[in-house]
Structure 1
């Protein structure tokens, strides 16, 4: 059965292994192929003047990995970097580091530099940087331990070591920004772009 929202002749590819980003796109009614890429991110991060620029460059580099394989497709690359008090946070390596990250973030506001880029025919044709702001409650060590026991290794897939779409919402005092952007993919700007490109029907 054809997708009632999308032009099947204009393929859409996500250059990411993120199950969360894929679920955001699928929930919006998009049909998209997934092609994870293997990128050494550290040199790009070190060369960038700030976290927002780093996120955009990383998203672009991920999409560019598929230039030769899928020249006609609309390829999406995404990246997200958490910044709190001038410090950048990557995904935690293990639950001990996850606990350390949550303790560092509690009682403070942080920004999620959330980048999304689209490439086609070897060129970047669109990019967007969302910057949701979130503040954790001054949660106790006991609450952090309980949260990580409940969520387990699922938190290792997200910067900040929390999943807003689950019980992680209980960690927060305030949340500002599009929910999908917080999850790692600014959806509303993307949908506008895809309609302009006739990937999605108006």
Structure 2
């Protein structure tokens, strides 16, 4: 049954994204999109990330046509390719050993599906330089965080931040998977303003 209140639905089951959206103090519901996230061959990171964010928003908007739906996605690129979710400890350790000391980029996309058919999209890039890491540091991080569902094994909302030398971004929340500056702007454009709620 379509939701009428609250007017906003987050198309993600991510606890981190819920915590970020909570900062805007807007009532919302959660309905994870559960889409096929298979990447097309040679699909650029920015394009893939935006496509998946939009697919998530559209999937949930189809279930709740009267709501504003927010979808998001994040990917990590390195040396022109994409680093996916490792799935297990051994792959996570290998990924982190490969990117240690390297420049990487987090691509973060959001897409807002509006009841009037509009789609509002945004793509953000966070550039980062990884620290040189010892095998012991990598093993300890993987043991603690178990980042098997994180692109490139980088759980940036947790201990993953200790793996990074520096980050450059226009939005400090982007690295966590949802750039709040852009999110607030797109929601205003969709008719939901955190500073003008009844």
Scaled by the length of structure 2, what TM-score is found? 0.88
Alignment: residue pair count: 191
Q: Give, in whole Å, the separation in 2 of the partners of 1:100 and 1:30.
A: 40
Q: Which deviates more, 186-195 or 105-114?
A: 186-195
Q: Which residue of 2 aligns with 1:12?
A: 8
In the alignment, does 2:151 pair up with 1:159? yes
Q: Which residue of 1 aligns with 2:120?
A: 126
Q: Which residue of 1 aligns with 2:186?
A: 193
Q: Which runs of 5+ in 2 are unaligned?
A: none
How far the C-alpha of 1:27 sits from its partner, in A, is 2.9
Q: Which residue of 1 aligns with 2:99?
A: 105
How far the C-alpha of 1:47 sits from its partner, in A, is 5.9
Give the alignment's Cα RMSD to 1 decimal: 1.9
Distance 1:48 1:191, change over 3 A: farther
How far the C-alpha of 1:66 sits from its partner, in A, is 2.0
Distance 1:95 1:30, change over 3 A: farther
Q: Which residue of 2 aligns with 1:22?
A: 18
- Partners of 2:32 and 2:60 within 8 A in 1: no
Residue aligned with 1:192, SS: helix
- Partners of 1:84 and 1:111 within 8 A in 2: yes
Q: Which runs of 4+ in 1 moved over 3 A?
A: none
Q: Give, in whole Å, the separation in 2 of the partners of 1:196 and 1:122.
A: 12
Q: Which residue of 1 aligns with 2:56?
A: 62
- Partners of 1:62 and 1:77 within 8 A in 2: yes
How far the C-alpha of 1:20 sits from its partner, in A, is 1.0
Scaled by the length of structure 1, what TM-score is found? 0.86
